Amino acid sequence: MSGSETGSDGGALGALAARLLDASVLERIGIGIASTALALLIGLVIAAAAGYDSIRFANQLLVGAFGSERAIARTLRSTTIFVMTGVAVAVAFRAGVFNIGVQGQFVVGGFSTVVSIVWLGAFVPSGAVGGIVLMLFGTAVGVVAGGLYGALPGVMKAYGDANEIITTIMLNFIATGFVGWLVAGPFGAPEATATRTRRLPESVGLPQVVFGDPNLSIVGILLMLGVVALIAVIMTRTRFGYDMVTSGYQDTAATYSGVDAKRMVISTMALSGMVAGLTGALFVIMIQGYYTDPSGIGNYGFDAIAVSLLAANNPVGVLPAGLLFGGLESAGSHVQINSDIPVQLIDGIVGLVVLFVAAPELFRMIAARTGLGGDAE
């Protein structure tokens, strides 16, 4: 691939990000609602054309996402992971750096958390205090591992002029393949019937508190909200956040103001990777309890790109965007179990939402033509 081709890829993504960031708050809300509604409508039409009951399909989507305490817990569980990975993507995108490697950083962070907890568990007494120590230690290791894995493409971009889109994509494959080999080999549990690591000690676990779901904790929800608030403050209320954005979009201006643009690129990618690593740690502690083949844990890091785009790379806006994707994933699980409607329709609806969000000027044009919006640009 030539340098001109990679440059055009980055330029296209930059133009898309700029268009999304230019939208006002009301425009973003309108685009999100219109995108979701139109995607759902098309999905229902496709279901009807395929011979399925579209009304029943719509009901199954609603019931699967919010129809019971179990469904709400399932939605909140997925939302927690989507929001945190979405914030990880938004940190980099907001600063003009394209971190497509959140999935790999998520994998590395989660795996490092499991390995470190299992190792330290042999030296820490069992009980509540020992469990807290293990969780804090494992989470810290996961954050550091994710941050280092995120900083790696930042270093290559800053000092080797490597295209971060390509390097982060490749690092996703490396993380998945290498961690998969470690799980199947040196760190695999001999007694397990499936490919996985040893389980975390019994003392490691978060309190449920809400809905009685063993894989959802109020601590996880509060951690999600805390990460959103912290990143929002960093990005909008601190000199570090200002320097991040300036270095990403105006590196010359940043240099004149005394900011080392290269170091700031590395810091941005490291911060993004740290959030992804923290999400991986929460995933294994709150949900999984061990680590399995990374190819089977879900594409949270990839879906996070769509979540961040829907939120215009705004950390606070990631909350409703993550809730939408969490609800769709929960609905998909329900449809797959309780209906003969193919779950692939859910994936198609998600794809349509992303497609429509990626073309905001379509909705602006419709609003202007129908008199519902302002003058066309």
Domain ranges of the chain: 3-370
Neighbours of 3 (CB within 10 A): 9
Which residue is associated with the tokens 């969780």?
135
Q: Is 74 helix (H, G, I), strand (E, B) or coil?
A: helix
Regions in the chain scoring below 50 on pLDDT: 1-10, 13-14, 16-18, 20-21, 374-377
pLDDT of residue 313: 87
Residue 377 CB partners (closer than 8 Å, separation 6+): 361, 364
User: At residue 292, what are phi and psi to the nearest 5 degrees?
Assistant: -120, -175
pLDDT of residue 255: 72
Q: Please give the Cα distance from 217 to 208 (Å, whole number).
A: 4
CB 89 within 8 A of CB 303: no
pLDDT of residue 366: 60
Burial class (CB in 10 A: 0-12, 13-18, 19+), 375: exposed
Q: Count CA atoms within 13 Å of residue 129 on its CB side.
A: 2
CB 207 within 8 A of CB 217: yes
pLDDT of residue 235: 92
DSSP 8-class letter at 198: P
Q: Please give the Cα distance from 134 to 146 (Å, whole number).
A: 18
pTM of whole model > 0.75? yes
**CATH architecture of the domain covering 3-370:** Orthogonal Bundle (1.10)
Tell me the two tokens of residue 159. Answer: 């000092």
Q: Please give the Cα distance from 139 to 376 (Å, whole number).
A: 49
pLDDT of residue 359: 64
Helix boundaries (H) for 283-359:
300-310, 318-338, 344-357
Q: List the one residue out of 189, 200, 201, 207 whose CA is nearest residue 125.
A: 201
CB 27 within 8 A of CB 35: no
Neighbours of 2 (CB within 10 A): 7
Q: Please give the Cα distance from 365 to 300 (Å, whole number).
A: 32
Q: Please give the Cα distance from 248 to 243 (Å, whole number).
A: 8
Q: Please give the Cα distance from 78 to 242 (Å, whole number).
A: 31
pLDDT of residue 16: 47
Q: Please give the Cα distance from 271 to 325 (Å, whole number).
A: 24
Q: Does an H or E element contain 71, and which? A: helix 69-94
| CA–CA distances in Å: residue 18 to residues 11, 94, 99, 162, 249 | 10, 9, 16, 22, 10
Contacts by 341-344, CB closer than 8 A, 24 or more apart: 341/47, 341/52, 341/56, 341/57, 341/60
Tell me the two tokens of residue 219. Answer: 């601590």
Q: Please give the Cα distance from 271 to 143 (Å, whole number).
A: 9
